[in-house]
Amino acid sequence: MEEFEPGKLASSVDSTVPNYGDKSISSVDQRNYKTSQPTKKILFWNKYFGTEDYELNLGRNSFLEAGCRVRNCFLTADRTLLNDSDAVIFHANDFNERDLPDPRYRRSNQRFIFYNYETVLTASDMPVFSQTKHFFNWTMTYRRDSDIYDVRPYGSLRRRTDARLPPSNMPIRLTTETLPPDPASLITTSFNRSRNHPILAKKTKMVAWFVSRCHSDSLREEYFELVGQHVPIDIYGGCGPLKCMPSRSEKCDKLLDSYKFYVAAENAICADYVSEKFYRALASDIVPIVYGGADYSAYAPPMSYIDVADFVSPKALADYLKLLHENDGLYLKYFDWKKDYKVVSRPADGWCELCEKLNDPNQLPKVYKDLTDWWFHKDIPCLSGYDFLETLRPVS
């Protein structure tokens, strides 16, 4: 199986089902780890949203528990170990240009790493971009052209060890244009089509949306206001009348069991940006409706989500939701993928990759002359909400 590499979509050989959105290591590879090399120290220079450990385990445990192929790395927040550290990580959000290592004592083989999960739109005014010319060696972000591609805060899909289907046999995405006159003729699933099916047992409502930012750069609220004119959307949080607190809790996840669809709409339309909203829905028995700038086919198999970009209008999307709502067998097709994949809520693949690169003697020296040239590169775009909505309008 060929895995994701920075700036490259994953492809797969015929005998396997691909992993999505991560750099998974196969169960065979996990046994081929090395622990005899000298320890590679990774120093967290600043905090990650108030946490010193970046929501990981300090020390070596994170690499051991993740089953990394190379496990001789050690995480620390102890600045006295700066001179002994092989990598120093700087979280962009907590970056302070007045609190940086003294460049006079920087080791030539020490990697300074830009660590960020904010989008281009959100991070545009951070001081990290104006104060760090010739400073960073590597990047570690959600973007697939990063030196280390990492989606730990968001999630990924991993192929099950007993996965059945090669990619060529995977379900083909359905749209209103490709449906036959009798949608029931598509049903080849082994799922029980009766209302007694466990997935359907509690589903009495159509669409749920947990949202607290009511005025987004993506203008998602405008689009789904139009969808809501044709199908009911229950809005929870600061932007709607319904409440479930805290929104990221087991209690609220269970509430989703009564809905068929979940709005996974990003607040920014940026390439490669797929947040935890998407994986939250995939981890539950609910179908996500995605609204964002990513190529979702690189993150999840067909028939696991519904993309607004596949529909000529909000009404066309609403009509398709109604069709699925009224046809149990067709709706259940959106869960076939779970036989071959599982959701990993906090994947450690990026940290495994970092440890491997620190141990790779063939890694060439590298420095970013100006990080803004890479971060705001035109080939990895963000669109305004207005421009994105224009792409969703039918061509006259």
List, for residues 251-308, the tens digit of each pLDDT value. 888 899 999 999 999 999 999 999 999 999 999 999 999 999 999 999 999 999 999 9
- Residue length of the chain: 396
List the one residue out of 311, 308, 257, 312 whose CA is nearest residue 280: 257
C-beta separation of 154 from 166 below 8 A: no
Statement to judge: residues 82 and 146 lie in one domain: yes
- Rounded Cα–Cα distance for residues 371 and 9 (Å): 23
Within-domain flag for 6:
no
Count Cβ neighbours within 10 Å for each residue of 233-256 and write b for 16 or more, e otherwise.
Answer: bbbbbeebeeebeebeeeebbebb
Residue 167, burial from CB neighbour count under 10 angstroms (0-12, 13-18, 19+): middle
pLDDT at 80 over 70: yes
Taking the CA atoms of 249, 253, 254 and 256 in sequence, report the sign of the dihedral they define.
positive
- Tokens 């990394």 correspond to what residue? 68
pLDDT of residue 380: 76
- Rounded Cα–Cα distance for residues 68 and 34 (Å): 9
**Domain residue limits at 328:** 165-339
Q: What is the pTM of this model?
A: 0.82
Within-domain flag for 394:
no
Residues 89-103: tens digit of each pLDDT: 999 999 999 999 998
Tokens representing 162 are 């007993």
Statement to judge: residues 276 and 311 lie in one domain: yes
Within-domain flag for 387:
no
Count of structural domains, the chain = 2
Q: What is the CATH number of the domain that holds 40?
A: 3.40.50
pLDDT band at 170 (very low <50, low <70, confident <90, very high): very low
Tokens representing 261 are 């669809």
Statement to judge: residues 284 and 357 lie in one domain: no
- Rounded Cα–Cα distance for residues 204 and 257 (Å): 9
pLDDT of residue 253: 84
- Rounded Cα–Cα distance for residues 104 and 216 (Å): 43
- Rounded Cα–Cα distance for residues 396 and 390 (Å): 12
Within-domain flag for 194:
yes
pLDDT of residue 331: 94
When the pLDDT of each residue in the chain is averaged and rounded to a whole number, the result is 83
The residue-averaged pLDDT of 325-337 equals 93
- Tokens 């490259």 correspond to what residue? 8
What is the C-alpha end-to-end distance of the chain, expressed in Å? 43
Q: For 273, which DSSP code?
A: -
Q: Which residues pair with 115 in a beta bridge?
A: 91, 140
- Rounded Cα–Cα distance for residues 213 and 219 (Å): 11
Statement to judge: residues 45 and 127 lie in one domain: yes
Statement to judge: residues 42 and 118 lie in one domain: yes
Statement to judge: residues 39 and 71 lie in one domain: yes
Statement to judge: residues 87 and 171 lie in one domain: no
List the one residue out of 65, 15, 62 whose CA is nearest residue 42: 62
Within-domain flag for 333:
yes
Residues 1-22: tens digit of each pLDDT: 333 333 332 322 223 345 665 5
Statement to judge: residues 109 and 170 lie in one domain: no
- Rounded Cα–Cα distance for residues 290 and 266 (Å): 8
Statement to judge: residues 305 and 227 lie in one domain: yes
- Tokens 């669409």 correspond to what residue? 207
pLDDT at 60 over 90: yes
Task: Count CB neighbours of 179 within 10 A.
Answer: 15
- Rounded Cα–Cα distance for residues 157 and 22 (Å): 7
